[in-house]
């Protein structure tokens, strides 16, 4: 059994549905149980996710933690598109059943494009999580602000294979609360900063294919890697594709793999929904794209055709 965890609020049901369908479609041989942690979801929203899992023989469970569980935290950055639910992942060891030894946490701005069993079977002996380095790992400011050594690097918290037994033993949830209460001014990237501090020496890094972030597709990346052709293949064929910045459902998304989101959206109750369904949205996108089409601005994303 593969255990997946997502923390969402009601605004993210559509995107969670896309993430789950992509997971189920590309892992049909696996038995999967999805654990949804949320402040509240209606019966209708719950039914949508359960009905998507049922044809694959998979299960969805729901958890509604007490309202005061996150009272010590606050959103520091991206407040317009990130809710307090993001901090639930810091508290998984106290929210999820004690019978769970590990769980694969997934953000819901993700599509799964392949078999995750290899990642699920990563050896977590003696460490708190398996993760992928963040595109911003080379920024000195992060380590100076969070007061830990750069040699420990910095991971993206949108995909985490979590060793729940380790988290319980080392009280990771308590450590997160204490750090935020003691040094709130150090936290910028919300729970991601917290988890990087608490797990700075207790993690193992895995290849980019398990969390291919938006930044790795950005213009100029071909000049920063030693073997562009090999890296290009990784970009074209990730297992976990993570839309970390501009989302594919935004009218002005230019991500080269944005259509992967719509492929799986069309397997959900939102089939056919597109951001450019109105003349107004199409006009806004055209105006946004003209400077790039005319060569007046550098492209945002690398050309994967070369």
pLDDT (tens digit, 9 = 90+) per residue, 198-212? Answer: 999 999 999 999 999
Please give the Cα distance from 140 to 123 (Å, whole number): 30
Question: Which structural domains are found in the chain, ordered by start?
Answer: 2-210 (3.90.550.10)
pLDDT (tens digit, 9 = 90+) per residue, 21-59? Answer: 999 999 999 999 999 999 999 999 999 999 999 999 999
> What is the DSSP pairing of strand 129-133 with strand 110-112?
unpaired
Structure tokens at 15: 């995107």
pLDDT (tens digit, 9 = 90+) per residue, 286-301? Answer: 898 888 888 888 889 9
C-alpha torsion 73→78→83→89, nearest 10? -60
Is pLDDT at 80 greater than 80 in this prediction? no
Q: How confident is the model at residue 190 (pLDDT cuts 50, 70, 90)?
A: very high
Q: How confident is the model at residue 306 (pLDDT cuts 50, 70, 90)?
A: low
Is pLDDT at 258 greater than 90 in this prediction? yes
């Amino acid at each position: 059994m593969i255990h997946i965890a997502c923390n969402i609020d009601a605004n993210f049901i559509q995107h969670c549905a896309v993430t789950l369908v992509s997971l189920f479609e590309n892992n049909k041989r696996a038995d999967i149980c999805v654990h949804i942690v949320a402040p509240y979801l209606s019966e209708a929203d719950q039914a949508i996710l359960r009905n998507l899992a049922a044809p694959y023989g998979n299960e969805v469970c729901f958890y509604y933690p007490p309202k005061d569980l996150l009272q010590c935290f606050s959103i520091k950055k991206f407040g317009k598109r990130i809710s307090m639910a993001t901090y639930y992942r810091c508290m998984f060891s106290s929210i999820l059943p004690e019978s769970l030894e590990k769980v694969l946490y997934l953000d819901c701005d993700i599509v799964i494009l392949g078999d995750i069993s290899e990642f699920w079977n990563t050896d977590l002996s003696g460490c708190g999580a398996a993760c992928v380095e963040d595109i911003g790992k080379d920024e000195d400011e992060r380590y100076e602000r969070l007061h830990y050594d750069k040699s420990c690097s910095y991971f993206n918290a949108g995909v985490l294979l979590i060793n729940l037994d380790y988290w319980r033993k080392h009280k990771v949830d308590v450590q997160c609360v204490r750090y935020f209460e003691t040094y709130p001014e150090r936290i910028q990237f919300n729970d991601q900063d917290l988890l990087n501090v608490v797990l700075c020496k207790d993690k193992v890094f895995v290849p980019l294919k398990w969390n291919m972030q938006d930044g790795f597709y950005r213009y100029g990346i071909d000049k920063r890697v030693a073997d562009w052709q090999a890296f290009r293949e990784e970009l074209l064929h990730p297992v976990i594709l993570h839309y970390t910045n501009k989302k594919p459902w935004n009218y002005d998304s230019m991500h080269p793999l944005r259509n992967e989101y719509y492929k799986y959206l069309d397997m959900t109750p939102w089939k056919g929904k597109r951001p450019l369904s109105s003349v107004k949205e199409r006009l806004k996108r055209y105006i946004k794209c003209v400077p790039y089409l005319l060569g007046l601005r550098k492209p945002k994303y690398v050309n994967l055709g070369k």
